[in-house]
Chains A and B, each alone.
Chain A
Amino acid sequence: MAKKVKTYQLKVPSSTDQLEIIREFVTGVARKVGFREDELNKIELAVDEASTNVVKHAYAYDDRKPIEIQLRVEPDRFVIQITDKGKGFKPEQVKKPDMKEYLAKMRVGGLGIYLMKTMMDEVEFSIDPGRKNRVRMVKYITPETVHPTRKVS
């Protein structure tokens, strides 16, 4: 028999006051999956950074636009997809930030993608500006990432 896959979905307006709701939604499901506390922290931060980028960059703070968060719990992985219809970007042009350079240029922001990649096992962008931009992030379910009581496939 095929293993059951569970999906969850949240759609909220693109606004920073939704970040808390998004974080709680995702960590709530991740906690149910059985992830350890430090993994929950990583998932929480990655989702926040991805959603913040949508609010700030894709939609330029237009709160009439929607952000969609889809979660998929597969036997060996937790998949998070965040989708918007705003302005896209070129993921390959985003480099690892050099903090000294940032400081020198007084640049703020732009650290989110680096954090997302550090926090998650897989991060992948699919960009189609104005139609569908999507970031897909994966956290593996392994004996190292979940509580011992949870069975790992």
Chain B
Amino acid sequence: MNGFEVAQHNSEDGITILRLKGFLDAHTAGDLEAALQKCIDEKKFRIVVNFEELNYISSAGLGVFMGFIEDVRENGGDIKMTSMTEKIFHVFDLLGFPALYDILKTDDEAVERFAQTEKE
């Protein structure tokens, strides 16, 4: 089985990093949904999602991010995305995600971006 995993890491500056691994499709999208719901329940609204080890995504996976972004932003947070391979970025790009989400190269850049927003 190809499978899918989400690992949650809480950084010192109150940012939650979710590292995705494997194959994200209609079968595994529920696991990502649960991970994001957990962040919301724990009032962790500053979220970085790292795609470095994600091999595959379908629209079911992209849909999960759309389902949570409003809630997260209304609470003063954001979902920032990092470390996408070209293959994964291509799918996000096709659906116009770069206009709606911060898609960055590294987790550090995402953390920096959160710090900047806080200063403003």
A residues whose Cβ falls under 8 Å from a Cβ of B: 16-17, 19-20, 38, 41, 44-45, 48-49, 52, 55-56, 97, 99-100, 102-103, 106-109, 111-112, 114-115, 118
User: Which chain A residues border B2 with CB–CB below 8 Å?
Assistant: 20
Q: Check B27 for interface membership: any CB of A closer than 8 A.
A: yes
Question: CA separation between A102 and B100, bound complex, in Å?
Answer: 11
Within 8 A of A (CB), among B48-94: 56, 58-60, 62-64, 66-67, 69-70, 87, 90-91, 94
B30 to chain A, nearest CB (A): 9
> Which of A17, A20, A111 makes the CB contact (< 8 A) with B59?
A111
Chain B, interface size category, equals 20 to 34
6 A-B pairs within 8 Å (CB atoms) are namely A19-B26, A52-B58, A97-B95, A99-B95, A108-B64, A111-B62
User: Which chain A residues border B94 with CB–CB below 8 Å?
Assistant: 115, 118
| Contact status A103-B25, CB under 8 Å | no
A65 to chain B, nearest CB (A): 16
User: Which chain A residues border B26 with CB–CB below 8 Å?
Assistant: 16, 19, 48, 52, 55-56
> Which of A99, A106, A111, A112 makes the CB contact (< 8 A) with B67?
A106
| Contact status B91-A45, CB under 8 Å | yes
Question: CA separation between A109 and B66, bound complex, in Å?
Answer: 9
B residues whose Cβ falls under 8 Å from a Cβ of A: 1-2, 23, 25-27, 56, 58-60, 62-64, 66-67, 69-70, 87, 90-91, 94-97, 99-100
| Contact status B58-A48, CB under 8 Å | yes
| Contact status A103-B60, CB under 8 Å | no
Q: Which residue of A lies closest to B59 (CB)?
A: A111
With a 10 A CB-CB cut-off, give which of A19, A44, A49 has the most chain B CB atoms.
A19
> Which of B63, B87, B95, B99 makes the CB contact (< 8 A) with A109?
B63
Q: Evaluate whether A108 and B25 lie within 8 angstroms (CB atoms) in the complex, with A48-B58, A49-B58, A99-B99 already known.
A: no
User: Which chain A residues border B100 with CB–CB below 8 Å?
Assistant: 99-100, 103
A101 to chain B, nearest CB (A): 11
| Contact status A109-B59, CB under 8 Å | yes
B4 to chain A, nearest CB (A): 10
Q: A19-B26, A52-B58 are in contact. List 17 more A-B contacts (CB 8 A).
A: A16-B25, A44-B56, A48-B25, A49-B59, A56-B26, A97-B95, A99-B95, A99-B100, A100-B99, A102-B66, A103-B66, A103-B69, A106-B66, A108-B63, A109-B63, A111-B59, A112-B59
| Contact status A108-B58, CB under 8 Å | no
User: Which chain A residues border B1 with CB–CB below 8 Å?
Assistant: 20
